[in-house]
Structure 1
Amino acid sequence: MKKFTTVLAVIFTIFIGTSVNAQKKTEQNVEFEFRKDKVIYQPVDVSQLPQPVISAVKNDFSAEVISAQVNQYEEFKLQIRTTEATTRTVYANAEGAWIKPTE
């Protein structure tokens, strides 16, 4: 009976050790699977903005675009000036929909 208990304890220890190591390896792999590309904005001439973006700025803010940048996802970072002469930064996609910035 003592040998059986010892063998059972050894098997249980090996099972738990293997289980913990497998979980650690999985956690390490997951860390790299969900990384995003770094978002890089490049300057773009205001005259090159898509018409839906320009229309959205005029309609929703009654403003003009002072400067613009675009990233690899065709999202635009816009510096706009409102009629009250205040400036702010807004983000839009190519269809002129307002978005949260991709960082």
Structure 2
Amino acid sequence: MKKICLTVLAASALIFSTQTVSAQEVAQANVEVEETVTQRVQDDFRQIEIEELPAEVQQAVERDFAGATIAEAHVKEHEGEQKFKLKVTTAEGEEKELYADAQGNWIDKEKKHDENQDQE
């Protein structure tokens, strides 16, 4: 009788431990998927320090969005040119995502998206 009880107890412990391992593997897989999705959303932009922005870009923000603060800055190199993605908070407290070239000229992402669709 003792052997039967010990066998049942050992089998129960074995089943419980395999379920725990499976749950951990699923949780790790979910974390890896979330990291991949986050990287794709960045559109190949990499985050930089705000101080690394060209003076022209910083001046364009000050000129066109008086009182705004830059919360985040990202850069992407494309065909030898740098493009910048900025997350700013306006003086009114509105959060905006802006795109600019290295000379401080604004890039209208929606207009570019429409032009690309027209070419297809």
Question: Which residue, out of 69, 81, 85, partners 2:89?
Answer: 81
Name 1:56's counterpart in structure 2: 60
Structure 2 residue 102 is the aligned partner of structure 1 residue 94: yes
Q: Which contiguous aligned blocks of 4+ residues in structure 1 show a shift greater than 2 angstroms?
A: 100-103
* Displacement after TM superposition at 1:59 (Å): 0.6
Normalising by structure 1, what TM-score?
0.58
Q: Give structure 1 stretches of 5+ with no counterpart.
A: 1-38
CA RMSD in angstroms, aligned pairs only: 1.6
* Displacement after TM superposition at 1:100 (Å): 2.7
Count of residue pairs the alignment pairs up: 65
Q: Give structure 2 stretches of 5+ with no counterpart.
A: 1-42, 114-120
**Bigger proportion of residues as helix:** 2
- Aligned-pair identity in percent equals 32
Query: 1:1-103 alignment to 2 at 5 Å?
Result: 39-62=43-66, 63-73=68-78, 74-101=82-109
**Whole-Å separation in 1 of the counterparts to 2:83 and 2:108:** 10
**Whole-Å separation in 2 of the counterparts to 1:55 and 1:64:** 12
Normalising by structure 2, what TM-score?
0.50
Answer with 1 or 2: which has the greater Rg.
1
